[in-house]
Amino acid sequence: MSARILSLHIYPIKSCAGIGLAESAIDRAGLAGDRRWMLVSGEGRFMTQRQWPRMALIRPALADGVLRVSAPGMPDLEVPLDGSGLRSGAETVGVWNDTLQARRESGEAAAWFSRFLEAPCALYKVDEAARRPAKPDWVARWIDAHPELAAAFDGDHFFGFADGFPLLIANQASLDDLNARLEKKGVAPVPMNRFRPNIVIEGGWEAYEEDHTAMIEAQGVRMAFVKPCTRCPMPDIGQDTGIRHVEPGQTLAAYRSLDIGVVFGQNAIVDAPAGARLKVGAPVEIELDF
């Protein structure tokens, strides 16, 4: 089967539910609208499902000039996209070892999330002037290994609140393999949303062949695979229930452990022409790394 884009996903609020898209604009920052907001705890730490699995139940939608947020037992919250609800002045917030500028949304938004998560928190949006680069050491390593593509991928790859890179790309064949292993153990299969990818590719690869891929290209957009994605316990959280399980992490750890950790999927940087868009079903060219 020829490779194609099986699905596209954005996660407007970091660690909350995703949105499936038929098509999306894309640039060096990744898919438009991806991880532009983030929750920060009362202690000043960024919040994820790792500590607050109920975040999986918070569902954002982008429509009619607002970020509309829903959750079980809560009235819908509307956050204006034009920035009119933002507090004046940017603040410094942290994501792992990185810091970047962000602006706090309204007190109404803070109260809504604090009530649902039963923990004091506030909603922040990436400031327009924020400049957070993809991990320079990994990007430089990839460019050194592919000097013929240095001109296309060199320079800054600024993005928002994602863990470390503009894109996460997954291979459907790898999930199929994982689910076959789970089935042998009598464990129910898991959907791809457990791994929260931006782009899922079907066809063209055998299971885990993405590990040995230099880059892919679709609709004039090139995506360089610069680092395997290390997996925390989040894939064990049911994205429809917010309940934590032991699988698929236990099975994955038994056969997908590298020196950097347990891996599934590939982090990528982007070379895209102005106005580029990706569509579900678009053919994908794969360039292996050997």
Digit-coded pLDDT (tens) for 7-36 = 999 999 999 999 999 999 999 999 999 999
Non-local CB neighbours of 128 within 8 Å, separated by 6+ positions: none
Write the DSSP symbol of residue 27: E
Q: For 109-119, how does the pLDDT look when each residue is reduced to its tens digit (9 = 90+)?
A: 999 999 999 99
Q: What whole-number distance in Å separates Cα of residue 142 and Cα of residue 154?
A: 10
Q: Are residues 226 and 273 in the same domain?
A: yes
Answer yes or no: pTM beyond 0.95. Answer: yes
Nearest C-alpha neighbor of 26 from the set 216, 229, 274: 274
3-state SS, residue 109: helix
3-state SS, residue 250: helix
Q: Are residues 109 and 167 in the same domain?
A: no
Non-local CB neighbours of 116 within 8 Å, separated by 6+ positions: 54, 58, 71, 73, 74
Residue 82 has pLDDT above 90, yes or no: yes
The separation between CA 170 and the C-alpha centre of its own chain, rounded to angstroms, equals: 11
Share of the chain above pLDDT 90, in %: 96
How would you classify residue 228: left for phi > 0, otherwise alpha for psi between -120 and 50, otherwise beta? beta
Q: Are residues 121 and 160 in the same domain?
A: no
Question: What is the Cα gyration radius of the chain?
Answer: 19
CA angle 180, 52, 114 (to 5 degrees): 145
Q: Are residues 255 and 201 in the same domain?
A: yes
119-131 in b/e form (b: 16+ CB < 10 A) is bebbbbbbbeebe
Q: Are residues 20 and 80 in the same domain?
A: no
Nearest C-alpha neighbor of 235 from the set 82, 38, 79, 15: 15
Q: Are residues 96 and 144 in the same domain?
A: no
The answer to whether 169 and 198 are in contact (CB under 8 A) is yes
- Report the pLDDT value the prediction gives residue 290, as an integer from 0 to 100: 76
Q: Look at the chain and report how many structural domains it folds into.
A: 2
Look up the domain containing 86 and give its range: 37-126
Q: Are residues 149 and 224 in the same domain?
A: yes
Q: Are residues 42 and 29 in the same domain?
A: no
- Report the pLDDT value the prediction gives residue 249, as an integer from 0 to 100: 97
Q: Are residues 136 and 252 in the same domain?
A: yes
The separation between CA 135 and the C-alpha centre of its own chain, rounded to angstroms, equals: 15
Q: Are residues 174 and 107 in the same domain?
A: no
